[in-house]
Amino acid sequence: MSTTTLATTVLGSSRLLESGRLRGKRVGIVANPASIDQQFVHVVDRLVRADGVTLGAIFGPQHGFDADLQENMIETPHAESRAHRVKVYSLYSETREPTPAMLDGLDVLVVDLQDVGTRIYTFIYTMAYCLTGAAKAGIPVIVCDRPNPIGGVAVEGPMLERGFESFVGLYPIPMRHGLTIGELARLFNDTFGLGADLTVEPMNGWSRQMFWDDTDVPWVLPSPNMPTLETAVVYPGQVLFEGTMLSEARGTTRPFELCGAPWLDATALAQRLNAYRLPGVAFRPVTFEPTFHKHAKTPCHGVQLHVTDRRTFESVLATTAVLHEMRQMDPAQFAWRPPPYEYEHKLLPIDILAGNATYREDIERGTDPRRMAESWKPAVAEFERLRQQFRLY
């Protein structure tokens, strides 16, 4: 928990609703349970209560509007809100882009989704597809900005390369992008020609140096396996475990903070990793048993990442060291996850997660993780120059 005084952060959704600019409009809203304000009031409830505003439709991202589907790659059905008597359309279904029929009769589409600062988090692509679909339908889009939980300073990791686009990476950005969802909307729309009539409603009281617990916004898990801020901090690197047959600890209370496999020696692994003296992290040997997902009901031995200094911690470097050492310990048992993964049926999951094949090939070659991290820096520096144009804070 931050030791500083919490900053009063006025969310984009609050600014928009207080402005009265939605009065007289039929509004579609893209949201999920994390779309709340500081009083824990959900954006849909605020829209319904707003003077002169008509709620026309609700759209939900991956895991559903209620975020009740635990597993990845389980499509969410369309439904109807009994409380509000409107359609609830799934944008993780037969379509990721809202169709003309879904948008019919709306005056504006509002997006209020909580991102976690990592390229593969699909909510930012749900937002991008909303920009594309709304542009085709001639409907304006308002993206309500929210904090990047892991701050807006650090940028890290390999860049997505052409040919590796997927629903966990549509555009060439690094793994940890250091932008808010509103800033990403501006970058996507302008740089990649999405063509939407886009307005980003910015926040007040948020600065790039802030982590989530520097704000007064309550944490509501944005997806079932993102339970805490600590999860989000390690996620830019640890999500790469989804591209392996090792457990990223889905099915435990500490997904992504824990990782391992039945065949590993936890003590030896922790010793090897701590020998790197990586900034801002300590590795503790653990044994855990997932209740579902990979290695369900089987004890897994591995490590927990304890972040001791968020501002110096490099999540992708840390995970790369973990994967490197796990493979070095037993190359025969270390395995990459086969496709399909997130609507991609040919490319290996690790390649679309990393955004290129070089990352996997370097792990297979036994390349030093620090050397790998150095190789990402030129592309990250180029991205830094691009993102300066779209920063709002």
The pLDDT tens digits for 153-186 are 999 999 999 999 999 999 999 999 999 999 999 9
Cα(291)–Cα(288) distance, rounded to whole angstroms?
10
Q: What percent of the chain has pLDDT over 70?
A: 97
Residue 76: per-residue pLDDT: 79
Instruction: Report, in this order, helix, strand and coil percent for the chain, each rounded to 5.
Output: 30, 20, 50
The encoded tokens of residue 174 equal 């690094």
Q: Which residues contact 48 (CB under 8 A, 6 or more apart)?
A: 55, 84
Q: What pLDDT sits at residue 2?
A: 47
Give the per-residue pLDDT at 266.
Answer: 98
Q: pLDDT tier at 71 (50, 70, 90 boundaries)? A: low
The domains of the chain are located at 12-218, 229-375
Alpha carbon distance, N-terminus to C-terminus of the chain? 23
pTM: 0.95
- Does 262 score more than 80 pLDDT? yes
What are the beta bridge partners of residue 283? 305
pLDDT of residue 153: 98
Mean predicted confidence (pLDDT) in 220-242: 97
Mean pLDDT (whole number) for 80-102: 92
Q: pLDDT value at position 338? A: 97
Residue 3 has pLDDT above 60, yes or no: no
Please give the mean pLDDT across all residues of the chain.
Answer: 96
Q: What pLDDT sits at residue 68?
A: 66
Judge: domain 229-375, CATH 3.90.1150.140: yes
Please return the burial class of 212, using the count of CB atoms within 10 Å of its CB with bins 0-12, 13-18 and 19+: buried
- Tell me the β-bridge partners of 127: none
What is the rounded average pLDDT of the residues 41-69? Answer: 93
Q: Can you read off the two tokens belonging to residue 175?
A: 């793994």
CATH for the stretch 12-218: 3.40.50.12170
pLDDT tens-place string over residues 300-342: 999 999 999 999 999 999 999 999 999 999 999 999 999 999 9
pLDDT the model gives residue 283: 99
